Amino acid sequence: MDAQNQRPCELEPYCVDQAPATVYYIPNFITASEEDYLLQQVYNSPKPKWTQLSGRRLQNWGGLPHSRGMLAEKLPDWLVKYAQKISALGPFAGQVANHVLVNEYNPGEGIMPHEDGPLYFPTVTTISLGSQTLLDFYHPIEREDEEVKVYSPQTEENRYLLSLLLEPRSLLVLQDDMYVKYLHGIRPVREDIVTEKVANLKSCNAKLGAVLKRTTRISLTIRFVPKVLKTKILLGRK
Ligand SMILES: O=C(O)CCC(=O)C(=O)O
Ligand SMILES: [Fe+2]
């Protein structure tokens, strides 16, 4: 850790300078056999572990984050290993990630632009499995007067800032403005076009202009939830 600006040094070589602060992108963070293993673990999880949302399915591991505190559950061993491996790079200021969200997207599925909110330490780390995708970033909706609204409406298109190409086996780390200011989302499309707006292109295998067909993608969103409840009694349960 850099004592002066609290930046995790080991990630520094992977900083994406073409994006606002701060994005780290590590291609091939895991091997192909680790990827197979993780996919197997995700798909071997008991069926009730899945929650179906419109446009994606998810598994929640580590407990449900809540404003009063997360009632923490032990992460399974197959996730602990990666929570530790990522945390050792320093993105959670010395803490170890205790929460993992698994998202599954079929081609044509995505997630609306959103902020991850205040329950998490302001860092999100993501391992991608199975397919690449573009992750898109947007300026937040600004308060505006009526005149501005009429002449330059804030559409998703004109709030669009840039994209990151997330390849299978890569690790993405988002902090600072890229976490707290800009919104992120995945468009519900079957293929992505690589434009000059892809800020991490020089760390990727893809070429400008490429059309990348999506297959099913699993993402592991690995975070640290600082506010944890020690017992159920605090939630008023027996
Ligand atoms: O699948 C991804 O990479 C993004 C997921 C995400 O933004 C979230 O779960 O909050
Ligand atoms: Fe998110």
Report whether residue 136 contacts ligand 1, using a CB cutoff of 6 Å.
no
Q: How many whole angstroms from 232 Cα to the centroid of ligand 1?
A: 28
The structural domains of the chain, ordered by start, are 12-142+155-227 (2.60.120.590)
Report whether residue 103 contacts ligand 1, using a CB cutoff of 6 Å.
yes
Instruction: Say whether pLDDT at 81 is over 70.
Output: yes
ipTM, 2 decimals?
Answer: 0.99
| pLDDT band, residue 84 (cuts 50/70/90) | very high
**How do residues 108-151 score in pLDDT, each as one tens digit?**
999 999 999 999 989 999 999 999 999 999 999 887 666 666 66
Task: State the average pLDDT over residues 26-41.
Answer: 98
Give the separation between CA 228 and CA 48, rounded to whole angstroms: 24
Q: Specify the long-range contacts of residues 190-197, CB closer than 8 Å, at least 24 apart.
A: 190/107, 190/108, 190/214, 191/107, 192/132, 192/133, 192/134, 192/165, 194/165, 195/163, 197/160, 197/162, 197/163
Residue ID of nearest Cα to ligand 1 atom 10 = 116
Instruction: Say whether pLDDT at 18 is over 50.
Output: yes
Q: How many whole angstroms from 221 Cα to the centroid of ligand 1?
A: 6
Quote the pTM value.
0.92
